Chain A
Amino acid sequence: MKFLIAIGSKDYSGSTLELGMHVAKAFNAAVDIVYVGEKISAFSTSEVMLAQENLENWELDRKGVDVLQWAYQYLVENKYIRSDSGNSDFNTDKLIQTDDDRCEVNLEGRITQEVGLILRNGDIIEQLRDEVKRSGTDVTIIGASKKRRMVHDLIQYIDSSIFIVKNYDRDRSYKLLLSVNDAPNTKKALKYGVRVAEAFDLDVNAMTISDSKEFRDDYKKASKWADKFLRRSGVDHEVNLIFGDFITIMNETASDNHIVVMGTSTKSPLTKFFKGSKPLKVSEKCNCPALIVK
């Protein structure tokens, strides 16, 4: 499996990197850590590149390298990678320019598979979408953003599962909230959820929420299957069938002490674009990390 962790700065991306690497470890996945810098106007691309190349002659780093340096130190200190020099200094000479707006360095992983550090410039959605396509990423992990429609664009346009790390506190005690229904992605969500629960030693609350009091047979069947799967996986869990509004119940239950795992909506992209979807609305409104499995 391949994970992509998007980081923005030392100050705000600590929890994203920590949670992301922990989850990647649980999946024994190869990881790419990407920093996406601001878009450079097409009128200035070559001029900015020239200025940045000149900085190298002065042994000065371009913007973003300091963030990769910090990520590298985190990986070395937590023994995710082997350090070449025996210390946690990041050798910027190893950054290879692969495109005008992309450079990368590949590192040998110790616990996970190989780890790549990538520096990109441009529109965040465009760059992540391109990176996901390029590397065949299964899960993209990113911190919550205040940007309008960011969650919408991530879920709508990035062709991988999306893990939004919002309000994560390593000292808080978490449970895993799993949404179970008859959608095809539920089974995959359940498998991902079990891996995450095992990695963090979490109890699982598998909820099937129906907006009508009469539970459809498909829902009951899905709930039973989830119960069986969780039991076989040996995870402490409870299974609930609840009547009510999906978004309200999910958010109230999740509060700030759950990690939410949901399958992506089966609605058509056009409907999702104009009306949104339940997973999207839950991820936008909830106050805790949320994984939307595609």
Chain B
Amino acid sequence: MLGFSNQTIADLLYWVTRKWWLIAAFAISLFLFYIPSPASLSPEGHRTLIIVVIALILIIGEVIPLPAVAILILILEVVLGIDTPNGVATSFMSDAVFFIMGSLMMAVAIVSQGLDKRLALSIIKLTGNKTWRIVFGFVAISSILSSFIGEHTVAAMMLPVALTLIRNTSDDQKTVQRLSTILLFSIAYGCAMGSIGTPSGGGRNVIMLGYFSEFGLGNISYLDWIKYAYPMLLLEIPIASVLLWMTFKPEQRILDSAVRKLKVKVTKAGKVTGNQMMAIGIFVFVFLGWVFLSPYLGLGIIALMGVFLYLSFGLIEWQDINRNTNWGVILLFGAAISLGIQMKETGAAEWVATQSINGMSMLINDLGFMQWFISVFLTGILTNFLSSAATVAVLGPVVLDMGGNPIILGLSTSIASAFSYLTIVASPTCMIIHSSGLVKSSDYLKAGWKLFIISVFILYLVSNLYWPYLS
């Protein structure tokens, strides 16, 4: 056929069936390119939105590698005449990208110190051997730690603790099915909830802070963020624990022998080593830097200082950092932030915000509630299919252009992007617990939808009843 061999046609068919999202993205973008720009939208804004559509389809479909999506965004920004090459380069690199890079590298350094065994011992000392207390302990410790360190670091450290308890209970997967589910979700949901607590809990928080300062909306310090977000985190810990218990109540109410075996295993690790002390010391230094020096140095630079110290003191090898750092994600977040800035500068963000409000005004009369609802609900849904940081990077400028109090809307958006409870792909922590093979994809929805709705409700209460007193 047309001079092609059967093998070539077969290969082409294979490519088409695997890459149809890519083909769809280009077909849709071509269509959008040739329709006239709406009157209230500049041609640059129109073209920026085309890039947003392409990027969203490619990210959700995962048909090409993430770095390729990032590179495509940057290329299109220049080729479609949205900004100059230097302008794109400037918007690509920011303190938020430094922070994401630094925190991903620090995660590798912290996890490799073997501190998880000490952590396990502390948890067990606090909770004892009753299952409900262990579940509560897992949710609480995961939340509190991930509010400072970053959620996937905590998940990577907590996973072996949970798996050891599960295996110590029984080798038969069916016997420990519900126990596995509740312990693993305690980690995943605890980490997700915790990531709202401080700016360093997740890259998305830093992206939002970056937008606040980039768009001249004000500066929120590390401690200010804690004042806004931590009460909600503390409220969610008992609620999530009860909800998980009600949904996945396990048959084993006491894990006596499992806890004893775990204690024996972790006690073998011996006393805290010098390297471990140094690793903790460096993290405390970084944390204090975030609290007191971030207005001057930026959160990202301080995170990079931590990486520098871990490398300089020989606590981690560069090869390990290089192998375990998701460079593709860093590139993509840089490109997504650049796209967010272009959305703001070309007026695309304002146009989307206006259209969303006009569209929703038929359903909701209260403008303030509508602005809040769009930002929170849209973010919450999108974060379950996209990455949370990419969601904030793209939606952030739209939300901040919606009118109303931008700080409250921005913080709400950032917090809602942590409601990644519904799908496996929602966050690295969800993927980490799924990789254990002990939780099913349907389990995510079982407890996830309840926690999602409760979280939206708590956020509504906190943002309306508590935050106005802070600003």
Contacts and interface: CB of A to CB of B under 8 A. Distances in A.
Interface in A216-266: none
Interface string A28-56: 00000000011011111111111111110
A58 B436 contact: no
Given A47-B326, A50-B108, A54-B157, A60 B164 contact: yes
Interface string B147-167: 000001001110110011001
Interface in B89-111: 104, 107-108, 111
Interface stretch (B28-36, B131-139, B369-377, B424-432): B424-432
Interface in A108-139: 126, 129
Contacts of A64: 437
Contact of A156 (B13, B159, B325, B424): B13
A48 B163 contact: no
A129 B14 contact: yes
Contacts of A63: 435-437
Interface string B107-119: 1100110101000
A285 interface: no
A41 B431 contact: yes
Contacts of A40: 431, 435
Interface string A156-195: 1100000000000000000000000000000000000000
B326 A45 contact: yes
A95 to B, nearest CB: 16
A51 B14 contact: no
B1 A268 contact: yes
Given A46-B326, A156-B10, A41 B435 contact: no
Nearest to B431: A44
Contact of B156 (A54, A60, A129, A273): A54
B56 to A, nearest CB: 14
A58 B13 contact: no
Nearest to B155: A51
Interface in B321-339: 323-326, 328-329
A37 B434 CA distance: 11
Given A43-B66, A44-B428, A55-B163, A62 B1 contact: no
A47 B159 contact: no
B463 interface: no
B65 interface: yes
Given A60-B160, A157-B14, A273-B13, A50 B111 contact: yes
Contacts of A98: none
Interface in A62-83: 62-64
B163 A58 contact: yes
B18 interface: yes
B79 interface: no
Contacts of B18: 126
Contacts of B10: 156-157, 269
Contacts of A52: 435
B251 interface: no
B385 to A, nearest CB: 10
A60 B157 contact: no
A85 interface: no
A54 B159 contact: yes
A212 interface: no
A57 interface: yes
Contacts of B114: 57
A268 B324 contact: no
Query: Of A50, A53, A55, which is in contact with the most chain B CB atoms at under 10 Å from its CB?
Result: A50
A199 B108 CA distance: 52
Nearest to B435: A48
A283 B156 CA distance: 43
A33 B25 CA distance: 37
A23 B152 CA distance: 45
A231 B244 CA distance: 68
Contacts of B342: none
B317 interface: no
Contacts of A50: 107-108, 111, 152, 156, 324
Interface of B: 1, 6, 9-10, 13-14, 18, 62, 65-66, 104, 107-108, 111-112, 114, 116, 152, 155-157, 159-160, 163-164, 167, 265, 323-326, 328-329, 387, 424-425, 427-429, 431-432, 434-437
Interface of A: 37-38, 40-55, 57-58, 60, 62-64, 126, 129, 156-157, 268-270, 273
22 contacts: A43-B425, A44-B431, A46-B325, A47-B155, A47-B428, A47-B429, A50-B156, A50-B324, A52-B435, A55-B160, A57-B114, A58-B164, A62-B435, A63-B436, A63-B437, A157-B14, A268-B1, A268-B9, A269-B13, A270-B9, A270-B13, A273-B13
